[in-house]
A and B are shown apart, each in its own frame.
Chain A
Amino acid sequence: MRSGEKKMDSVLINENPIIYPKRPRRVRTDQSNTDEFSSTNRIRDIRDPEHPKLSLEDLNILTEESVEVDDDKSYVRITFTPTLPHCHLPTPIGLCLLAKLAQSLPARFKVDVRVAPGSHDKEKTVNKQLGDKERVAAGLENPDLVALLNKMMQV
């Protein structure tokens, strides 16, 4: 299946992303809100910045393996895979993941977000930016970026 979104004079970095078949969602019956499944659920439907009709899960930017949770240590690590190694969008995707989890996880959690090793040319640069909470905080005060993130989080 290919994306039907082709515009005239398009400047999308990834015009024809591969869309992955949806995996069936398991229904949980316990009350825990911090295990891997829940973390995935909160973020899997975030919209791709370039293709708002597609989610990060649709594009395999996030998979269930992306999420590591250690409830005892109150730690979550998200590893995401940009669709192209040279695209400029890992930063907004990473920021959106951080913002979404900060909103929905209990305050005790520490969250690290990183690009999957080997998946992007600017991996070290992006990971360092996402790991600097002062830079992240300042970025999240930028109205244009906030508008993009809100668009991405509309489910």
Chain B
Amino acid sequence: MALGGARFRYIISSNTLGRFGLAMGEGAKRILLVEDTEVNRVVVRRLVRELNVSLEEAENGQAAVDLIRGGRTYDLILMDKEMPVVDGHEATRQIRSLGVTTPIVALSGDSLESDRDLFLQAGADEFQPKPLTRDKLINIFSRYGLDYD
């Protein structure tokens, strides 16, 4: 999909088999991963495979905001920091300005206080340094009440 010369892509993970949330059974929690780097998306996709969650992906902040503006709802958003078009800070701010209260966990390869503070000011609920591991992901899901087994 193109808009004003910029290109946006969002991906429905193979976890969902093309139907939102149904492949993992009724009540499967819906996670939005906002991450531009394919390697990182592939790893998270594999991390959630055994967990009873449905994963959708957006390649940048604008794609994530568009999904939400379009009516998509999620139980948790994992938001990368550095992304083209719209970065994680701005996407978080825009999502919050839409009145969306879904927990947003900010992800960054840097563990800078300034990054953390900017994300929290934008409306993120917490900040996690990358890379995500299975244990970190399970802890995140537990904190936000996501049943994953």
Partners in one complex: no
